[in-house]
Amino acid sequence: MTNMKYFFTYCLLFTGLLVFAQDSLNMRKLGHWDNPEVPIESSTVGLRYNEVWGWASPVTGREYAVIGATTGAYIVDVSDPTKPFQADFVPGRRGNVINRDYKSKGNYVFALADQELGSLQVWDMSTLPDSVHVVYDGLISDANGVDTFNLSHNMFVEGDRLYIVTPKNLGQTIAYGYGVMDISNPEKPVLIKLYPESVFGRVHASYVRHDTAYIHAGGNGLFIADMHDLDNPIVLAHVQYYAYYGYNHTGWLNDEGTVYIMADETRKTPVKVMDMTDKTDPEFISYLYPRMNLADTNSIPHNQFWVGQYGINSYYYDGVQIFDLSDPYKPQIAGYYDTYPQPYDGKFKGCWGVYPFLPSKRILASDMQTGLYILEFSPFAKSQEANTTVVYPNPISSEVLQVKINNPVENLNVRIYDMVGKEILVQKATYYTSEMTIFMPNIATGMYILQAFAGGNLISTQKIQVQH
Domain CATH number, residue 450:
2.60.40.3080
| Last residue in a domain, options 382, 397, 420 | 382
Question: How does pLDDT run across 221-268, given as a tens digit for each residue?
Answer: 999 999 999 999 999 999 999 999 999 999 999 999 999 999 999 988
In a domain, 3, yes or no: no
Element (H, E) at 9: helix 2-20
pLDDT beyond 70 at 26: yes
Same domain, 378 and 403: no
| pLDDT value of position 430 | 72
pLDDT beyond 50 at 6: no
Same domain, 365 and 397: no
Same domain, 315 and 358: yes
Same domain, 458 and 374: no
- Phi-psi domain of 441 (left: phi exceeds 0; alpha: psi -120 through 50; beta: other): beta
| pLDDT value of position 159 | 92
Answer with the residue of higher pLDDT: 297 or 112: 112
Same domain, 343 and 419: no
| Last residue in a domain, options 353, 382, 411 | 382
Name the pLDDT band for 143 (thresholds 50, 70, 90). low
Same domain, 377 and 393: no
| pLDDT value of position 263 | 96
Q: Which domain holds residue 291?
A: 8-382
Give just the sign of the alpha carbon dihedral 206, 285, 302, 365.
negative
Same domain, 291 and 399: no
In a domain, 401, yes or no: yes
| Last residue in a domain, options 349, 382, 415 | 382
**Average pLDDT of span 13-25:** 50
The pTM of the full predicted model, rounded to 2 decimals, is 0.82
Please state the domain count of the chain: 2
Domain CATH number, residue 360:
2.130.10.10
In a domain, 2, yes or no: no
| pLDDT value of position 313 | 96
| pLDDT value of position 307 | 94
pLDDT beyond 90 at 302: yes
Whole-angstrom distance, CA of residue 123 vs CA of residue 110? 7
Same domain, 221 and 358: yes
In a domain, 1, yes or no: no
Q: Provide DSSP, 433-444.
A: EEEEEEE-TTPP
Same domain, 345 and 439: no
Whole-angstrom distance, CA of residue 197 vs CA of residue 6? 63
